[in-house]
Structure 1
Amino acid sequence: MDFNNMTNLKNMANKVKNHYMDSYTLKKKPTATGKFRFVVQIGPVAVGFSKISGLQSEVKVHTYQEGGVNGAPHYFPENVETGTLVFYKGIGNFNPLSTLFTLVKSGKIPKILGTITLLDENKKPKRMWEFHNAYPVKWIGPELDGLSNEVAVEEIHMVHAGINEIPIGIMSSGYEQAKKIIGKTF
């Protein structure tokens, strides 16, 4: 590693250390954010969901055992694998993802840009993720049971070309539209 990269790593480590030192010296208790307040922007439409899963990304590595080196193998990054996003929604009058799924079934594959924004207790953005080139690949309808009083829920599974966390200070344009509905939805 060259000197410039080492200097950059040290600078980043100092920034992280100073961030945490500041929070401890100010006697602030770290606060965790609940997972129940979020806004989803799918293309130009803000959509309400009861649950989202599959928010993940993983770097796959190639393991190489060097001959004569018995201590530990070498690891080399290969590619990034992303999870399938699964959106759960109570049955209502309209679900834009169901409409998109119908388009995909007919051979027209729209590439969607979307955002998922986690909100704190004051409905302010805490974390935000943006996924791109997404489209629905699976729909699961509600389980119907005449003896149950549960809400009918459908699932839409979406594949995507990647998911990135967007720093809160650099909000994407999709968030601006979703921000307008925060006060009305929650």
Structure 2
Amino acid sequence: MPGYIPPVGFRFDVRVVDKLEAAFTASASMGITDDVDGSFQDVAGISVEYPTESYQAGGENRYVYQLPQPAKYSKLVLKRGLVTDFSNLSDWCQETFESNLGKILTKTLVVSLLGESGMPVMVWYFTNAYPVKWEASNFNSMDNKIVVETLEVVYQRFESISMDNALTGAVGSMSSGLGF
């Protein structure tokens, strides 16, 4: 691809939706938002790996089979300045943590990497997600730093789709992205 320039990672948006179908609608209207729930300073953990199990076949000494195991996903880690106003995301986390995991309300997280125009160039859908850890940064009277809240989320699986391919009609099948 002559002239291809990889996207930069400093413009992104995060949305929390109830169902995957709503995520497609949300991604179609995404762009830079003033919504506090979409404003994060850092998103990490978009990762999948297939661990393997070594198997030594009886009588075969030249090699060991590597048998694939189920996919293993990293926790999605979201960081932002501490939100003191009402936030749907904070409300969802508080509801989950106060239930002592007795009532887990799963949602779909939509992370969009934004291009120069502020529109998505790549979108990741994290299905059946729920928070497992919330943390506030240290308070220190010697530092003049913003308090950062960190949220760790687990999820069942994720799918990604290039919005360039979606615009050419591949969004219905999700075949253009990586489905894990």
TM-score by length of 2: 0.72
Task: Classify 1:151/1:115 alpha carbon distance in 2 versus 1 (closer, same or farther; 3 Å).
Answer: same
Task: Classify 1:30/1:171 alpha carbon distance in 2 versus 1 (closer, same or farther; 3 Å).
Answer: same
Partner of 1:178: none
Shift of 1:144: 1.2
Partner of 1:103: 95
Query: What are structure 2's unaligned runs of at least 5 residues?
Result: 19-34, 173-180
Amino acid in structure 1 at the alignment position of 2:80? K
Number of aligned positions between the proteins: 146
Partner of 1:135: 130
Distance 1:81 1:104 in 2: 23
Match among 34, 37, 54 for residue 63 of structure 1: 54
Bigger drift between 132-141 and 144-153 goes to: 144-153
Distance 2:50 2:143 in 1: 42
Shift of 1:163: 1.2
Q: Say whether 1:162 aligns with 2:157.
A: yes
TM-score by length of 1: 0.70
User: When you count helix as a share of all residues, which structure comes out higher?
Assistant: 1
1:20-169 alignment to 2 at 5 Å? 23=1, 28-43=2-17, 47-92=38-83, 93-107=85-99, 108-168=103-163, 169=166
Amino acid in structure 2 at the alignment position of 1:142? S
Q: Which has the larger radius of gyration?
A: 1
Q: CA RMSD in A?
A: 2.1
Give the conservation status (yes or no) of the 8 Å contact 1:98–1:156. Answer: no
Amino acid in structure 1 at the alignment position of 2:112? T
Q: How many percent of aligned residue pairs carry the same amino acid?
A: 27
Distance 2:73 2:46 in 1: 8
